[in-house]
Structures are given as structure tokens and as C-alpha cells.
């Protein structure tokens, strides 16, 4: 097998070693798929499923689900980039769904096997990162915003200013640690779109952050809510679900989406190419989109569900919780993060390296 025919190390060569046959299967309509063992390899985030969901599915279908965990989109991408080690169903976030579609890493979904698709809220059925939802279906969504300790604030900190441009909470604030997340929020604070490509604006954002650095305690990779709980910081930039979990433990903690706007995220279910049990994966997706299963999941993990049928079964305090379902006004100021292309990603990463080195 030539490594560089014509100077290109293409994905096809990578796939050749790992179940290219299975990849070929994905092009055949599901009704003619060959027999699959009653197994499913599910690759998901931690605590991102209902307490009994997997058991319920096994009872209904007889398929044994094995759930493995990953903790970052880019880890998932890097691992699958060189070939699928055997996962049937993955849960990437929206901008990574986009990357995977561009890189031809996902199997198109067979809608005839997913009748519960009709349960999904209309606004989720046609999105920029997956037009017509050919490759993915929404699982959960939410916002990014500010988690804070009520007793230590002068008033509700509903602006990014307190994190990016003020020394009011010097040494007691934390930001996220991914370049795209932090820069996206800074762009919003400066009045631009989350998905800014202009190098000059990126440079200005970099200067703003370097200026603010002496006031920042730490760039927290996913554990801002723990820092808030332990009193290490009083205000942090975090995803709404994380802060919600902290709010359960400590009523003094609260969450708000800044008025300048923020990032709205969505995690989606997708089937990677080379999946050994695609038909089982379709059945599982259909199960997750049922009203009851969806409601149980939403109840346990307390994120916003795009499943209208499930939402109707949820109690009022869930539906009316602004930390889970932001108001229309808030939503209108939020944007989804999209994949901006390799050049812009490189600009973001270099700016971030400079911020960290300053």
C-alpha cells in the first residue's frame, strides 16, 4: 500500500486498514444490511444519558449497549480521524459535526429507520452545519454564560465586562481554556459575531485578554463549576449544564447569559463510517427520540432537549428555568459556533498561544 501516491496521504488509505468493508456497507440501504450482532458501541460524554436509558433500551430491543466515554470534541475527532476503532454512535457538538461531514467521516442517516424524527422541534431540523440533517440528529442543546456566587456580586453580572474588562473580581475569576470558546465570547463583548474571521479584530481581542490576564486566576478546562463551589473563584465563564449541577449543590450559585450575547451549543447523534452495527445504531437513535426516553434523560441530566414530545412531559420548573431554556430575547443574541476553516482556526490558536505566553 503506497504511502503517498501522488503526494497525498488520503483518508481512504487510513480507512483501508480498519473495516473498509464496513464502510462500504454504509452505502447500502438498511433493509439489505447483513446480520448484526445484538450489540451497540456508544461513545458519549460522561453522565450524558439517563439513569436507566441503556437498560430500558436493552429491555425493549434485546441489544446490549456498551457506553464508552470521551471528554473533548477534539479528542473524539483526532481519534476517529485515522479510522474508526469500532464505535457505532457518537455525540459530537455542532461545529465538529460540520468538520466530520466535511471530512466524510459520517454515515448518512436512514430516516425510514427513525420515525421518531417527527418529535424534534422544527427549528432543529435544518441547520447550517448539517443542511437537512442528513448525517446527524440533535440530542441536547444549551448556552454558554457566566456562573457566579450571588453573595459575592454587587448585582447580577449580566455582562461579559466583569470577566474580560474589569478588575472588580481580581484574582477571583476564571475563564474557559479553549481558544474558540473564549475568543468567541470576547468577540461578542466587543460587539462582533462569535464567528469573526477578521485578523484585526482577532488581534484586538488578543490584546484585551492579555490586558485582563493579571485579574484572571485560571483558565479552567471544564471545572469552573468546581472552582465556584470551592470558593476558589467567585465568577466564571462556563457551560450552563455544568453550572446547573453546581447550583444543585449550593443555592448561592447562579447562572446568567450576558446581554451582549453568547454561544449556543448543540450536541448531536451521529454514526461514524465504519460502524460495525449501523442498524442497531439507528434503532437506538429512534429510541432516544421517543417522548418518554427523552423525558427521562432530560430529567436526569437537566439540559435543554430538542425533543418536543419529551419536553411536554417535563415539569414546569424545568421548562421555565432560564438556565436551561433561555428566553427568546436571550436566544436571539446568541449564535452557534461554526467551523471557520483551517486558516481562521490557526489564527485563533496562535492568538491563544500568545495570550497564554504573555
Partner 1 sequence: MKSARNHKLAFWLTFCPPTLWMLIFLLVPILIIGIFSFSAKQGLVDISASWVLDNYIRAFDPVYLSVFFKSIGIAALTTLICFLIGFPVAIGIASAPKSWKPVLLMIVVLPFWVNLLIRTYALIAVFRTRGFFNFSLEWVANLFGIPFEPLTLLYNDAAVILGLVYIHLPFMILPLYAGFEGFNKSLLEAASDLGAQQFKIITAIVLPIMAPSIISGCILVFIPALGSFLTPELLGGPSSQMIANVIERQFLAANDWPFGSALSMMLIYLTFGALALRYFWLRRRYFSSTENKP
Partner 2 sequence: MILCCTIVFLYAPIIVLVIFSFNDSRRNVTWHGFTFKYYEKAIHNNNLIEAFLNSLSIAFFNTVFSLILGTLTALLLWRFRFSYKSVYEGIILVPIIIPEICIGIALLVFFNLCGWPNDLPWPLNLSKITCAHILFSFPFVAVIIRARLAKFNLDQEEAALDLGANHKQIFKNVLFPHLKPALIVSSLLAFTLSLDDFVITFFMSGPETTTVPIKIYSMVRFSVTPEVNAASTILLLITIVLAAIAIWIQRGWAKEVEKS
Residues that bind partner 2 (CB under 8 A): 1, 3, 13-14, 16-19, 41, 43, 45-48, 66-72, 75, 78-79, 82-83, 85-87, 221-223, 225-226, 229-230, 245-246, 248-250, 276
Residue 38 binds what, of partner 1, partner 2, none (CB under 5 to 8 Å, by partner type)?
Answer: none
Nearest Cα to 23, choosing from 133, 90, 105?
105
User: Shortest gap between Cβ of 71 and partner 2 (angstroms)?
Assistant: 4
| Distances 294 to 52, 54, 308 between C-alpha atoms, Å | 11, 12, 9
Residue 248 binds what, of partner 2, partner 1, none (CB under 5 to 8 Å, by partner type)?
Answer: partner 2
Residue 18 binds what, of partner 2, partner 1, none (CB under 5 to 8 Å, by partner type)?
Answer: partner 2
Q: DSSP 3-state assignment of 88?
A: coil
Q: Give 176 or 194: the residue with its C-beta nearer to partner 2.
A: 176
> Which grid coordinates are listed for 292?
418518554
Query: Rounded distance, CA 231 to CA 224, Å?
Result: 11
Residue 249 binds what, of partner 1, partner 2, none (CB under 5 to 8 Å, by partner type)?
Answer: partner 2
Determine the Cα angle at 224 with ends 264 and 207, to 5°: 75
Q: Give 68 or 126: the residue with its C-beta nearer to partner 2.
A: 68
Q: DSSP 3-state assignment of 345?
A: helix
28 Cα distance to chain centroid? 30
Q: Give 89 or 202: the residue with its C-beta nearer to partner 2.
A: 89
Q: How many CB atoms lie within 10 A of CB 59?
A: 9
Phi, psi (deg, nearest 5) at residue 222:
80, -5
Q: Give 105 or 146: the residue with its C-beta nearer to partner 1.
A: 105
User: Shortest gap between Cβ of 238 and partner 1 (angstroms)?
Assistant: 16
Q: Which positions touch partner 1 (CB under 8 A)?
A: 4, 7-11, 14, 72, 74-75, 77-78, 81, 99, 102-103, 105, 171, 177-180, 213, 216-219, 221, 230-232, 342, 345-346, 349-350, 352-354, 356-358
Distant-in-sequence, close-in-space partners of 317: CB < 8 Å, separation ≥ 6 = none
Element (DSSP H or E) covering residue 239: strand 235-239
Query: Rounded distance, CA 210 to CA 352, Å?
Result: 10
User: Shortest gap between Cβ of 243 and partner 2 (angstroms)?
Assistant: 11
Query: Rounded distance, CA 194 to CA 344, Å?
Result: 13
Residue 218 binds what, of partner 1, partner 2, none (CB under 5 to 8 Å, by partner type)?
Answer: partner 1
Residue 67 binds what, of partner 2, partner 1, none (CB under 5 to 8 Å, by partner type)?
Answer: partner 2
Amino acid at each position: 500500500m503506497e504511502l503517498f501516491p501522488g503526494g497525498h496521504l488520503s483518508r481512504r488509505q487510513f480507512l483501508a486498514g480498519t473495516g473498509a468493508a464496513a464502510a462500504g456497507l454504509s452505502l447500502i440501504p438498511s433493509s439489505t444490511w447483513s446480520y448484526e450482532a445484538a450489540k451497540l458501541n456508544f461513545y458519549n460524554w460522561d453522565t450524558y444519558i439517563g439513569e436507566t436509558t441503556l437498560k430500558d433500551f436493552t429491555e425493549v430491543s434485546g441489544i446490549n449497549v456498551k457506553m464508552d466515554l470521551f471528554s473533548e470534541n477534539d479528542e473524539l475527532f483526532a481519534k476517529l480521524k485515522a479510522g474508526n476503532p469500532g464505535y457505532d454512535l457518537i455525540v459530537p457538538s455542532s461545529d465538529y459535526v460540520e468538520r466530520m461531514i466535511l471530512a466524510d467521516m459520517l454515515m448518512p442517516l436512514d430516516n425510514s429507520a427513525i420515525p421518531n424524527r417527527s418529535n424534534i422541534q422544527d427549528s432543529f431540523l435544518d441547520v447550517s452545519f448539517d443542511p437537512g440533517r442528513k448525517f446527524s440528529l440533535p440530542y441536547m442543546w444549551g448556552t454558554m454564560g457566566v456562573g457566579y456566587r450571588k453573595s459575592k456580586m454587587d448585582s447580577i453580572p449580566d455582562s461579559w465586562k466583569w470577566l474580560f474588562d474589569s478588575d472588580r473580581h481580581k484574582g477571583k475569576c476564571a475563564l474557559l481554556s479553549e481558544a474558540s470558546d473564549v475568543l468567541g465570547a470576547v468577540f461578542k463583548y466587543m460587539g462582533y459575531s462569535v464567528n469573526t474571521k477578521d485578523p484585526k479584530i482577532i488581534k484586538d481581542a488578543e490584546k484585551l485578554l492579555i490586558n485582563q490576564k493579571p485579574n484572571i486566576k485560571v483558565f479552567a478546562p471544564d471545572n469552573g463549576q468546581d472552582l465556584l463551589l470551592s470558593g476558589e473563584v467567585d465568577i466564571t465563564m462556563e457551560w450552563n449544564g455544568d453550572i446547573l449541577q453546581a447550583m444543585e449543590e449550593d443555592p448561592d450559585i447562579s447562572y446568567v447569559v450576558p446581554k451582549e450575547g453568547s454561544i449556543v451549543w448543540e450536541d448531536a447523534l451521529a454514526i461514524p463510517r465504519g460502524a460495525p452495527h449501523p442498524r442497531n445504531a439507528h434503532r437506538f437513535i429512534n429510541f432516544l427520540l421517543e417522548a418518554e426516553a427523552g423525558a427521562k434523560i432530560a430529567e436526569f441530566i437537566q439540559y435543554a432537549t430538542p425533543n418536543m414530545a419529551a419536553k411536554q412531559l417535563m415539569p414546569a420548573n424545568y421548562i421555565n428555568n432560564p438556565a436551561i431554556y433561555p428566553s427568546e430575547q436571550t436566544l436571539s443574541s446568541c449564535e452557534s459556533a461554526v467551523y471557520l476553516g483551517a486558516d481562521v482556526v490557526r489564527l485563533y490558536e496562535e492568538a491563544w498561544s500568545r495570550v497564554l505566553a504573555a
